[in-house]
Structure 1
Amino acid sequence: MAGACPTGVGCGCSDDAAFGAALSAGMKVPNVESGMPANLDVSKHEMLTYTNAEYDFTIGYLRDWTVQGDILDTEVILSGPIVDGYMINANVITVELPAEMTTYEYAKAGREQFPEVWVIVDTFNGTISNGEPVSGHIITTTTGEGIEVKHRQACLVRNTTAYVIGFTAASSTFDAAESDYFVPMLQSFKYIEDVAGVEISITNPSEVLEGGKFTAIVTLDDSTDLSIFLFKLNYDPSVIALTEVEEGFDSATASSYTWLSWGDKGTRQIVAYSDTLGTLVNGSAELVRLEFDIVGRAGEQSVLDIQGIIGDSAMKQIETIWVDSEVTITPEE
């Protein structure tokens, strides 16, 4: 849900980007035990990818982080470890602009809307790993619980849409959080259009009753001469349990492929490759069906994250966009 322009340039709308900063800075910690261990380093732990197909962006996050999509005018909230009584977090907000502007112009105009209690301690301009320009600032403020926090707000603009990525941590641990989490996450940000290739997505019901079951389907959208694919699925085994993996395609095509599947709780790796004289997959196809049982409690969520590689009959890699999903448990009626 894209917000309105916060810059005041040609419009009189609300400041959704500032709202994102306030949201991050005001995050409460209802249960300290719910956080993951604080001494994690991104370089030593697997990064997953959050994909937002509606607003065409992806961003990386740690597997142990919690993902909440489309909440409080925010496209996604990523919640990490609790350190010094404060939950390290990131969020992404999209803002529709009245006209095209540079990232610097947008960030500068946004700063002019900040309340006095937000103290700007630094500003920055540069590019991220894919060459996209980024501008922003770091502010300090104090939460209602008296915790001083720092918030980095990185702004990117494409056409007339601004993407505002916020990162927040207690001031006492901000430098470590920035190095371990925020910088790698910002560098991972991409527009989906930047990734040329076919799309492989996992789809499933967004909500399932407590104690129920559901099916997730991995589908391929419009490929040519697919000869081999392999991917890894990650999910939260405390929320959902994988009970069965079913081969995809139609029966004739599937029979000409060799299938392998293995994994532990929370992961599943699947490989399929065409026999020498087998039929190749062209166009769209259903690759795999995954059957799950709900083992968690109402209100809990799990991301279903897939990443992998596919190749054609010449054993050349096919560029691929991998689109994940999530499921939320709802109370039994």
Structure 2
Amino acid sequence: MSTRMKNNAIGWSFIIVAVFMICAFYFYPMVQALILSFKSGTGTNLQFVGLDNYKRLFSDATFLAAVKNTFIYLIVQVPIMIILGLFISVLLNDRTLKLKGVFRTLIFLPCVTSLVAYSVIFKYLFAADGLVNTILVKFHLVPQAINWLTDPFWAKITIIIAITWRWTGYNMIFYLSALQNVDNSIYEAAKIDGANGFQQFFKITIPMLKPIILFTSITSTIGTLQIFDEIMNITKGGPGNATASISQYIYNLSFKYTPDFGYAATVSYVIVFFIVILAILQFKVAGDRND
């Protein structure tokens, strides 16, 4: 056996198990789900129906409501989370700030809390007689208690607040890591040239963080399109379908309503479609190569 073949054999011996596991637990289920999306029926009694499931999407009021709600979360929450994470990371990167480690830990801590636990806590905090309404009414910030969980508008706001609270620290860590790799002499040179704080932020910090901002934008988009736990545990998609997401609708189709796994797989591939399209758009807008 030649040296090249030996090296190839050694290399494959290291990765063959990982390749097999990825194919078995990722790609095979994806292909099976795609095949399943062309079938329909109750339970496991499925029949091939071609593109009927995909045609059904356009006349499914519940699905269209779930798509609308999901994109509201995406459009409102993702920019807020990215901007807030970027702002906090710049503040925590200040060398003169004391107790930076404590602040970083506190802001990142929500990311490692249980999804179910924090969702339940938010449900109690924003209840009609919860702590949030108690504080707002006590300090006369609102004339009466807000129906956070039963009003369609305020229920969406509650979900957005919950997601932002949990995931802002996640993006902050990426920005902070990138900022710490920026040579401080760049900022010192900018100060000598007369650049103020805002000019340094927009002319130095933002361009230097461009790849990280693109990365967090894509991961935040994917996470928001797949949002499930918060909605399931805080509002259960209510009132009505005012806060329902695509992922929750998939769950309902599979386990809550009469099981229709074929149609559920079809809705699942809608998420895949949206993720691919939005990722491509973000690469085009932000640029997928260094300028």
Same-fold status (TM-score > 0.5): no
Instruction: Identify the structure with the greater strand proportion.
Output: 1
Work out which structure has the larger RCO, using CA pairs closer than 8 Å and 6 or more positions apart in sequence.
2
Relative to the length of structure 1, the TM-score reads 0.26
